[in-house]
C-alpha cells in the first residue's frame, strides 16, 4: 500500500474551540505556525502508521468535513489523513490523528462504533511526542555530542525555591537524564539527557507528573507567562487584602472589648468574617495548598507545608468555633497572613522578572526571515526564506533599518551598522566591502549585500544566548546549601510545632491551637529560603544591565575570594588590532605616495599588516607580486621592483644600511620598510592600541587589594612596554600557553585565588585553570566557552564593577541569612511560649520576608560611586603618535 502524507497549511486558523495554533509561538516564513506545542513549518509532513495488521470489522463512513475522532470541523484547505481500518480517515489536528492511530494499534477500533458521544480533543499536555519530531528542526534540541542532547525549557507553576529543588531532584532520578539546572528567577530549566535512553517528550511528561508544565523555551511564551503570573498573583493579593480589611474591621469589637454589643451581633460578625475568609482560603491561598499537597506526596517539605497547615488549621478551628458559638476565632490572622505573604511574594516575583528581563536583553532575537539573493550579481531579486535556513556562502540583502540575520562579510554597499548587541556601543560603525557584520546588529543607513559565514546556532549572538541560558540556570554552592538548609528548617519547624501543641494541650488546651498557629506563622521559612536566591537574582540582573554576563553560577562566589588577577596582553589589555601609527618618508617621494605603493603591494593579502594599511592604490597596478612569509611582499609597479616588509629583508634589495629611524623603534611597535632597488623610500610603524580605561581599571583593582600580573606570548620588551602604559609591574613575556597555565597553578599552590582575563584560543587552558575567568564577547569561541564571566563590549572598567557587585552580593547574602537565623531564633521560642499572638506573628513574618527582599534589591540599584567615577581613556596609539611626532 502506498504511503500517504498529510500536511496542513500554516495560514489556516486552528479549528480548536479551546486552542490556537500558537500554543507555542515561533515565527517562520513570517507566519506563526504551531499546534499544541509542535512546530509546523508551512509544509511539515507527518507520516501516519501503516494500515497493515489486524483490522476491526467495524466500518464508519468517512466525512471529510468533520474530524473522525472528535467531530470538530476540519480546517478548510487541508487536514490530517491516515489509513485506519482499511479506510482513509480525516482529522482536524495531529493530536486526534495520533490518538486514533494508538487506538487502532491497540486493536480497539470498536471504540468508534460503540461510543455514544464524541471524544474530547486532546490537550497540548498530551502532545509531548510531537516535540521529538520537531525539536531538531526548530532548534529546541541541541546536540552536545553523538548521544547527549540538551534543551532549554520554560516551566509553569514554579512558586518557590522548593519547587526548583523538586524539579531538579525528580528529573535527575529519571532514566537517561544526565544534568538538570532550574533557575528560580526566569522559570527556565536546562536539561541534558542521553538520547539512547530517553527523549524530550519523556522529560516533559516527567515534569507534568509532579504538577508542573514545561515547554521548549520561547521568549514570547516567557513574556506571556510572566504577564499571567503577575496578573494572577496580583488578583489573589487584591482579594486577600480586601477581605483582610473588612475582617479586621469586624474584629475591632473583640480587640477593644466594646461593651454593649449584643451576642447576636457578635455571632453575626463571626459569620460575616467566615464568609469573607472563604475566598481568601480557597482562592488566594490555593497555590499554597496545592504546593503543600505536592510536597507531601513527594516526601519533600517546602515552605508551602507550614503555610498550608497554619492557614488550614486556623480556618478549620475558627469555622468550628463559629458553628458551635463558642471558642476563639482567627479569621483576622488568617486573612492578614495570606495577604501579607502574597504581598511579599509579589514583590519577589517582580524582582525576579526584572532580573530575567535584564538577562533576556543580553541576547535579543534574530529576525525570522531573510532576503536571499539567488542570482547575484546578474540580478538583485530576493527570495524570502526562514533565517534559520541560511547556510554558509548564501548572499543576503540587508535593508536599511533591518536586523542582520547571520554573521557574514559585506560584499556590496556602504552603510553604518549598530553593534550594541555584542559590543555595548550604541554609536554605529561604518561598514564597507570586506568588513565583518554580526547577527543581531542593525543596519542603519543604506542596504548591504552580505555573504553568510555563520547562521543559526553558529552565530556569535547564538553562542552568547546559549551562554546566557547556562548563566541563568546555574547556582553557586551557597545557594545550594541555603536550599538544603531551608528544607531541613521546615522539618524542624513541624517538629517544634507538634511539641508546642502537645505541651500546651497539657498546660492549657484552650491555648494549644493559638500557640501552634503562632509558631507556624512566625517562623515561616520565607526569609530563609529567599535570603540567597533574592540576592543572586538582583546581582545577576544588575550585572546584566551593565552588559556583564555571568556564565557560571560559581563565578560570583569565586570573585569574592580572588587575590590575584592575571591578564593576557593581545586582545585583552590591547584591542588586538594592528594599526598604522606613523609613516616617515626617506626619499624624494611624499608620504601619501609611499602609502599608496605599500597598499598596492599588500592588495589581496590577509596579513594583519595588510589589513592595517589604508585603502589607497598607486596609479599603476602591481605585477608579479610574491609573498615571503615572515619577511614581506615584493612586486613590480610601473616597471620598478619594490619590497615592503621586515627592514632587514627589504635591505637585501638595495644593499644600503638601515636608516637612523630604525634605531628608535619603540618596543611595543612593529616596524616595516618600503624600498626599491635604488634605496629606502619610507619607514612605517605599526602598533596595537591599549583598550581605553585600562590604566584606570588596573588602579581600581589595586585599590581593592588585588595583585595584577601580565602574561604574554609576545616579546618581553613588547610586554614590558604595554605593562608600563597599563600600570602593571609584574610582567612575563615569551610564554607558551602551558607556561601561562603553570604560572596560575603555582599561584594557586601558594594559596592565592586567581582570576584570569583572556581572549584567545591559546588562553583557554589558563581560563579553565583559574578560579574565575573573564573574557570579552569578541574573544575566540573556545575562550568564551572556558570563561565564567563575559564582558559584552570593550569597557574594561566593568571588571572592577563585577568585583564590586560580587563582594556586595556576598555581603547581602550573609546579612539576609544572619537576619533570618536571628529572627527565627528569637521569634520561635516567643511564639512557643505563648508570648506572641497569631496577629503579631503574622506581622513579624511578613516584615521579615519583605526586609530580606528589600535588602537584596539594593544590589539592583547599583553603587552610586560607579556612576560618578571618572574614567580615563588612554591608548597606546596616542603614546606612539606622540613619540613619533617628537622625532
Give all domains of the chain, ordered by start, each with its CATH number.
6-125 (no CATH), 130-217 (3.30.70.100), 370-458 (2.70.150.10), 547-574+691-803 (3.40.50.1000), 576-689 (3.40.1110.10)
> Which is higher by pLDDT, 126 or 824?
824
pLDDT band at 366 (very low <50, low <70, confident <90, very high): low
Q: Calculate helix-pair angle for 694-703, 716-726, nearest 10 degrees.
A: 70
Of 335, 331, 332, which is closest to residue 316 (Cα–Cα)? 331
Rounded Cα distance, 258 and 260, in Å: 7
Q: Are 597 and 618 in contact (CB under 8 A)?
A: yes
Out of 23, 407, 483, 568, the active site residue is: 568
Greatest mean pLDDT among 91-95, 260-264, 637-641 lies in: 637-641
Region of poorest pLDDT, from 143-152, 295-304, 661-670, 751-760: 661-670
pLDDT at residue 672 above 70? yes
Secondary structure E strands in 337-428 = 369-373, 382-386, 395-398, 407-412, 415-418
Q: What are 102-133's pLDDT values in tens digits? A: 556 655 565 555 454 454 444 444 466 767 76
Rounded Cα distance, 328 and 322, in Å: 9
Please provide the DSSP assignment of 246-279 as one string. HHHHHHHHHHHT-TT--HHHHHHHHHHHHHHHHH
- Alpha carbon separation from 741 to 194, 776, 784 (Å, rounded): 33, 19, 17
pLDDT at residue 146 above 60? yes
pLDDT at residue 9 above 70? no
CA atoms within 13 A on the CB side of 533: 34
Region of poorest pLDDT, from 12-21, 165-174, 562-571, 655-664: 12-21
Greatest mean pLDDT among 21-35, 138-152, 738-752, 837-851 lies in: 738-752
Number of other CB atoms surrounding residue 705 within 10 Å: 8
pLDDT band at 290 (very low <50, low <70, confident <90, very high): confident
Which pLDDT score is estimated for 46? Answer: 32
pLDDT band at 160 (very low <50, low <70, confident <90, very high): low
Q: Which residues contact 92 (CB under 8 A, 6 or more apart)?
A: 15, 16, 67, 70, 72, 73, 74, 75, 79, 80, 121
pLDDT at residue 824 above 50? yes
pLDDT at residue 781 above 70? no
Mean pLDDT of all residues in 766-783: 73
Which pLDDT score is estimated for 768? Answer: 76
Rounded Cα distance, 192 and 633, in Å: 52
Which pLDDT score is estimated for 74? Answer: 73
Which pLDDT score is estimated for 280? Answer: 92
Rounded Cα distance, 265 and 249, in Å: 14
pLDDT at residue 572 above 70? yes
Rounded Cα distance, 818 and 813, in Å: 8
Region of poorest pLDDT, from 406-420, 487-501, 772-786, 818-832: 772-786
Mean pLDDT across the chain:
72
pLDDT at residue 87 above 80? no
Region of poorest pLDDT, from 250-259, 431-440, 452-461, 706-715: 250-259
pLDDT band at 68 (very low <50, low <70, confident <90, very high): confident
Greatest mean pLDDT among 62-76, 541-555, 661-675 lies in: 541-555
Q: Are 155 and 187 in contact (CB under 8 A)?
A: yes
Q: What are 744-753's pLDDT values in tens digits? A: 888 888 888 8
The β-bridge relationship of strands 772-776 and 789-791 is: parallel
Mean pLDDT of all residues in 788-813: 82
C-alpha cell of residue 770: 583559574
Three-class SS of residue 671? strand
Which pLDDT score is estimated for 282? Answer: 92
pLDDT at residue 424 above 60? no
pLDDT over 70, % of the chain: 68
Three-class SS of residue 109? coil
pLDDT band at 11 (very low <50, low <70, confident <90, very high): very low
Residue carrying the nine cell digits 560607579: 866
568 catalytic residue (yes or no): yes
Mean pLDDT of all residues in 602-628: 72
pLDDT band at 488 (very low <50, low <70, confident <90, very high): confident
pLDDT band at 867 (very low <50, low <70, confident <90, very high): very low
Long-range contacts of the stretch 288-292 (C-beta < 8 A, 24+): 288/338, 288/341, 290/211, 291/159, 291/160, 291/162, 291/163
pLDDT band at 239 (very low <50, low <70, confident <90, very high): very high
C-alpha cell of residue 533: 536566591
Q: Are 331 and 549 in contact (CB under 8 A)?
A: no
Residue carrying the nine cell digits 561598514: 431
Q: What are 315-350's pLDDT values in tens digits? A: 888 888 888 877 778 788 888 888 877 877 787 677
Of 356, 792, 778, 357, which is closest to residue 547 (Cα–Cα)? 792
| pTM of full prediction above 0.75 | no
Region of poorest pLDDT, from 177-191, 288-302, 534-548, 661-675: 661-675
Which pLDDT score is estimated for 145? Answer: 74
Which pLDDT score is estimated for 121? Answer: 45
> Which is higher by pLDDT, 848 or 398?
398
Which pLDDT score is estimated for 283? Answer: 93
Number of other CB atoms surrounding residue 145 within 10 Å: 7
pLDDT at residue 865 above 60? no
Q: What are 248-282's pLDDT values in tens digits? A: 888 777 666 555 556 677 778 888 888 999 999 99
Region of poorest pLDDT, from 106-110, 481-485, 679-683, 820-824: 106-110
pLDDT at residue 839 above 90? no
> Which is higher by pLDDT, 429 or 376?
376
The rounded radius of gyration (Å) of the Cα atoms in the chain is: 35
Three-class SS of residue 28? strand
> Which is higher by pLDDT, 343 or 786?
343
Mean pLDDT of all residues in 718-741: 81
Please provide the DSSP assignment of 157-226 as one string. ---SHHHHHHHHHHHHTSTTEEEEEEETTTTEEEEEEETTT--HHHHHHHHHHTT-EEEE--HHHHHHHH
Amino acid at each position: 500500500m502506498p504511503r500517504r502524507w498529510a500536511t496542513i497549511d500554516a495560514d489556516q486558523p486552528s479549528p480548536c474551540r479551546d486552542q490556537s495554533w500558537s500554543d507555542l509561538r515561533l515565527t517562520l516564513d513570517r507566519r506563526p505556525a504551531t499546534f499544541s506545542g509542535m512546530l509546523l513549518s508551512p509544509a511539515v509532513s507527518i507520516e501516519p502508521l501503516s494500515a497493515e495488521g489486524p483490522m476491526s470489522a467495524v466500518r464508519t463512513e468517512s466525512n471529510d468535513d468533520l474530524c473522525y475522532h472528535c467531530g470538530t470541523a476540519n480546517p478548510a484547505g487541508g487536514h490530517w489523513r491516515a489509513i485506519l481500518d482499511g479506510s482513509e480517515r480525516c482529522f482536524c489536528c495531529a493530536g486526534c490523528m495520533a490518538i486514533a492511530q494508538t487506538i487502532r494499534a491497540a486493536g480497539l477500533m470498536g471504540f468508534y462504533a460503540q461510543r455514544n458521544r464524541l471524544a474530547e480533543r486532546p490537550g497540548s499536555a498530551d502532545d509531548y511526542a510531537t516535540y521529538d519530531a520537531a525539536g531538531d528542526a526548530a532548534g529546541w534540541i541541541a546536540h552536545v555530542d553523538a548521544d547527549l542532547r540538551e534543551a532549554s525549557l520554560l516551566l509553569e507553576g514554579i512558586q518557590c525555591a522548593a519547587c526548583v529543588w523538586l524539579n531538579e531532584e525528580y528529573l535527575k532520578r529519571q532514566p537517561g537524564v544526565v544534568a538538570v539546572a532550574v533557575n528560580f528567577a526566569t522559570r527556565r530549566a536546562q536539561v541534558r539527557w542521553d538520547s539512547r535512553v530517553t527523549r524530550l517528550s519523556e522529560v516533559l511528561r516527567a515534569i507534568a507528573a509532579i504538577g508542573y508544565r514545561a515547554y521548549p523555551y520561547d521568549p514570547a511564551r516567557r513574556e506571556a507567562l510572566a504577564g499571567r503570573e503577575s496578573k494572577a498573583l496580583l488578583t489573589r493579593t487584591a482579594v486577600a487584602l480586601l477581605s483582610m480589611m473588612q475582617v479586621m474591621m469586624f474584629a475591632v469589637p473583640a480587640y477593644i472589648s466594646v461593651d454593649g454589643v449584643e451576642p447576636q451581633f457578635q455571632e453575626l460578625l463571626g459569620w460575616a468574617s467566615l464568609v469573607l475568609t472563604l475566598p481568601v482560603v480557597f482562592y488566594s491561598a490555593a497555590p499554597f495548598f496545592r504546593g503543600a499537597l505536592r510536597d507531601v506526596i513527594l516526601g519533600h517539605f517546602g515552605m508551602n507545608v507550614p503555610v498550608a497547615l497554619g492557614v488550614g488549621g486556623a480556618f478549620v478551628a475558627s469555622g468550628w468555633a463559629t458553628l458551635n458559638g463558642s471558642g476563639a476565632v482567627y479569621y483576622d490572622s488568617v486573612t492578614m497572613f495570606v495577604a501579607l505573604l502574597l504581598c511579599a511574594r509579589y514583590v519577589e516575583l517582580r524582582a525576579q522578572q526584572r532580573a530575567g528581563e535584564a538577562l533576556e536583553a543580553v541576547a535579543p532575537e534574530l529576525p525570522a526571515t531573510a532576503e536571499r539573493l539567488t542570482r547575484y550579481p546578474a540580478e538583485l531579486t530576493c527570495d524570502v526564506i526562514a533565517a534559520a535556513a541560511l547556510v554558509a556562502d548564501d548572499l543576503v540583502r540587508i535593508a536599511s533599518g533591518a536586523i542582520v540575520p547571520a554573521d557574514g562579510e559585506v560584499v556590496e554597499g556602504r552603510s553604518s551598522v549598530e553593534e550594541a548587541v555584542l559590543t555595548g556601543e550604541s554609536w554605529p560603525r561604518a561598514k564597507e566591502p570586506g568588513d565583518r557584520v554580526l547577527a543581531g546588529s542593525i543596519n542603519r543607513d543604506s542596504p548591504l549585500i552580505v555573504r553568510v559565514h555563520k547562521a543559526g546556532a553558529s552565530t556569535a549572538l547564538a553562542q552568547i544566548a546559549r551562554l546566557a541560558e547556562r548563566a541563568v540556570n546555574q547556582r553557586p554552592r551557597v545557594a545550594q546549601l541555603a536550599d538544603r538548609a531551608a528544607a531541613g528548617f521546615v522539618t524542624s519547624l513541624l517538629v517544634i510545632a507538634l511539641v508546642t501543641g502537645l505541651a500546651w494541650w497539657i498546660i492549657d488546651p484552650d491555648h494549644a491551637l493559638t500557640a501552634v498557629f503562632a509558631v507556624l506563622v512566625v517562623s515561616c521559612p520565607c526569609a530563609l529560603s529567599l535570603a540567597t536566591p533574592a540576592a543572586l537574582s538582583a546581582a545577576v540582573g544588575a550585572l546584566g544591565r551593565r552588559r556583564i554576563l555571568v556564565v557560571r553560577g560559581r563565578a560570583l562566589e569565586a570573585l569574592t575570594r580572588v587575590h590575584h588577577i592575571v591578564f593576557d596582553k593581545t586582545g585583552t589589555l590591547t584591542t588586538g588590532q594592528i594599526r598604522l601609527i606613523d609613516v616617515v618618508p626617506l626619499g624624494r617621494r611624499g608620504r601619501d605616495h609611499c602609502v599608496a605603493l605599500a597598499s598596492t603591494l599588500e592588495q589581496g593579502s590577509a596579513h594583519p599588516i595588510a589589513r592595517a594599511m589604508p585603502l589607497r592604490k598607486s596609479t599603476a597596478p602591481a605585477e608579479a607580486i610574491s609573498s615571503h612569509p615572515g619577511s614581506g611582499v615584493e612586486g613590480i609597479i610601473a616597471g620598478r621592483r619594490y619590497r615592503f616588509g621586515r627592514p632587514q629583508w627589504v635591505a637585501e634589495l638595495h644593499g644600503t644600511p638601515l636608516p637612523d629611524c630604525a634605531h628608535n623603534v619603540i618596543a611595543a611597535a612593529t616596524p616595516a620598510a618600503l624600498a626599491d632597488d635604488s634605496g629606502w623610500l619610507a619607514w612605517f610603524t605599526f602598533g596595537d592600541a591599549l583598550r581605553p580605561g585600562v590604566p584606570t581599571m588596573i588602579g581600581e583593582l589595586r585599590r581593592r587589594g588585588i595583585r595584577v600580573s601580565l602574561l604574554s606570548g609576545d616579546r618581553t620588551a613588547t610586554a614590558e612596554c604595554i605593562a608600563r602604559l597599563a600600570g602593571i609591574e609584574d610582567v612575563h613575556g615569551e610564554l607558551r600557553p602551558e607556561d601561562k597555565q603553570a604560572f596560575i597553578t603555582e599561584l594557586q599552590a601558594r594559596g592565592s585565588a586567581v582570576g584570569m582575563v583572556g581572549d584567545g584560543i591559546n588562553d583557554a587552558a589558563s581560563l579553565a585553570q583559574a578560579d574565575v575567568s573573564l573574557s570579552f564577547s569578541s574573544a575566540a569561541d573556545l575562550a568564551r566557552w572556558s570563561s565564567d564571566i563575559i564582558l559584552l563590549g570593550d569597557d574594561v572598567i566593568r571588571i572592577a564593577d563585577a568585583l564590586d557587585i560580587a563582594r556586595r552580593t556576598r555581603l547581602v547574602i550573609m546579612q539576609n541569612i544572619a537576619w533570618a537565623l536571628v529572627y527565627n531564633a528569637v521569634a520561635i521560642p516567643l511564639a512557643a511560649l505563648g508570648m506572641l499572638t497569631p496577629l503579631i506573628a503574622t506581622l513579624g513574618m511578613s516584615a521579615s520576608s519583605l526586609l530580606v527582599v528589600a535588602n537584596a534589591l539594593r544590589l539592583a540599584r547599583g553603587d552610586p560611586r560607579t556612576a560618578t567615577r571618572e574614567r580615563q581613556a588612554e591608548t597606546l596609539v596616542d603614546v606612539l603618535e606622540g613619540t613619533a611626532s617628537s622625532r
